[in-house]
Amino acid sequence: MAGICLADIARDNQIEVPVDLRRDKGWVGQLIESELGALAGSKPEQDFLHLGVELKTIPIDHNGKPLETTYVTVAPLTNIQGMTWENSLVYHKLQRVLWVPVEGERSIPVGQRRIGTPILWQPNRDQARQLQQDWEEIMELIALGKVDKISARHGEVLQLRPKAANSKALTESIAEDGSIQLSNPRGFYLKINFTQQILANAFS
DNA sequence: AAGTGATCATAG
DNA sequence: CTATGATCACTT
């Protein structure tokens, strides 16, 4: 697919190209899933379970730098006692990722955006350590009932941010006194500097 | 311009 | 609502 533009992939899959992504934010990802035959659908599993590979498209600028953070998974806000890094959803999803860079600048019409060279990545020792450290720190705050005090500034490479239809959506979380309260759902995201390093390392 | 918080579509 | 796919858009 490298070098091909999205309109070509869309035509092959009989999918229409939207004018912009405001109402089609997951369009590029789903287009590539369709092209590659990913099977997970909306299940919380790796896209290619049989290969142990997660597929992620990543929007880049003309210098190859990511334009956005990368969503990983929803964050569990209750029933997290006994949960460890090794059995977390973040750990499993990031075991192996096929990154598919796609031009993402809004000045380029969606259909004309080109696909870059895909990168099959596994976290190296340092990356794994950074991810685990951030995950454990964030999960501890959640366990202590401080989810509503966590901002996207926490974490060096992994951050916690809202992941919901809007700011009014509610889900159960742990309160500071240990009881159940309602909070805006959150998700884990990889910060731009981290994914930028992944892409850079692949070409060095 | 970067970074954080908010949001959009869809399936089950 | 939860989970998938993410990008938008406002604030700093």
A122-133 pLDDT tens trace: 999 999 999 999
A145: how many CB neighbours lie within 10 A of its CB? 19
Residue type at A192?
Answer: I
Average pLDDT in the A144-160 region? 98
Residue nearest to nucleotide C1 (CA to C1'): A171
Distance CA A184, CA A95 (A): 28
Query: Across all residues in chain A, what is the average pLDDT?
Result: 95
**Quick one: how far is CA A28 from the chain centroid?**
13
Q: pTM (2 decimals)?
A: 0.97
Per-residue flag: A154 CB under 7 A of strand B: no
How many angstroms separate the CA of A123 from the C1' of B10? 31
Report the nucleotide nearest the CA of residue A105, measured to C1': C7
